[in-house]
Amino acid sequence: MANLLCYSRNRAASVEQIDETTLAATCRLQDSLTDAEVTLRIRLPELEIIDAKGTFTRFSRDECSGIERALEKVVGVRIGAGMKKIIRGLVGEITDCNEVAGLVEECCHAVILAFTKDMLGLVPEELAKEKEFFAKMVKENIRLYNSCAAFAPGSPIVEGIDPP
């Protein structure tokens, strides 16, 4: 008997530098029920959302049609601490379509990861120096301590670092 999929999902997020002070972040979702895309324009260095556009071309819930008003609410929001709560709260005022906030969040998360990637490009190849690099990172930002298994007590990276 053929082992067929009963459901499939593909979500892609990308970040492009448009010019010196502008990024474009896009999230596309295609799955068995939904086809949607959101694009944000983000101003540097504030990471402020200056434009938000999107569309659902296929959807199974009526509340996911006409999302423009919901997307307008996130203009002016800065990508940073607490952004998920702010995005969900603002979008949730206009629509019950949960996926809209999800697409915006994925765009914002991709922007953060784009800058994270730039920092991680500096990690040395040698293991001992890699450990030093991350240990210094944890010392400088103690919020990293115990934020995941790699930075949890017992990991060589945080050996000798006092917990906050």
Partner 1 sequence: MLKFQRTKLVNIINNNDGTLAVHGTLDDHIYQIEIDMVIGIDDHAIRAIDGKWIRAENSECRRAIPFLKNAIGIKIDSDDFTQHVNKHVGRKACPHFANLIIECSNAAEDAVDMLKFEAAGKDQPELTFEEYLAGNAPVVPKDKPEARVSVQPDRPEKQATKEKKILVGLNGFCVDLHIHTFPASQCSSSSVDEMLQEAGRIGLDAVCITDHNYVWKTADIHTLSEKHGILVFNGNEITTDQGDMLVFGMHKDVQGIIKLKELKQLVDDANGFIIAAHPFRGFLIFNTNEIGLTVEKAMQRPALKQVNALEILNGKVTERENVFAGKVAAGLGMPATGGSDAHDVAGVGKYATCFDVKIGNEEELVEALKSGNYTPCKFRDNIATKAQVAKNGILEI
Footprint of partner 1 on residues 136-155 (CB under 8 A)? 137, 140-144, 146-152, 154-155
Is residue 104 part of the contact set for partner 1 (CB under 8 A)?
A: no
| Residue with Cβ nearer partner 1 (68 or 82) | 82
Binding-site member from 70, 90, 100, 103 for partner 1 (CB under 8 A): 90
Residue of 70, 3, 4, 62 lying closest to 34 (CA atoms): 62
For 110, how many CA atoms within 13 A lie in the half-sphere containing its CB? 24
Task: Give the whole-angstrom CA distance, residue 53 versus residue 64.
Answer: 14
> Using CA atoms, how far apart are residues 121 and 26, in angstroms rounded to an integer?
23
Number of Cβ within a 10 Å radius of residue 115? 14
Return the residue matching tokens 């474009």.
Answer: 24
| Nearer residue to partner 1 within complex by CB, 33 or 55 | 33
Nearer to partner 1, 53 or 145 (CB): 145
CB of 38 to partner 1, least distance (A): 14
Find the binder of partner 1 among 66, 68, 120, 132 (CB under 8 A).
120
Q: Binding partner 1 by CB under 8 A: which of 58, 93, 129, 136?
A: 93
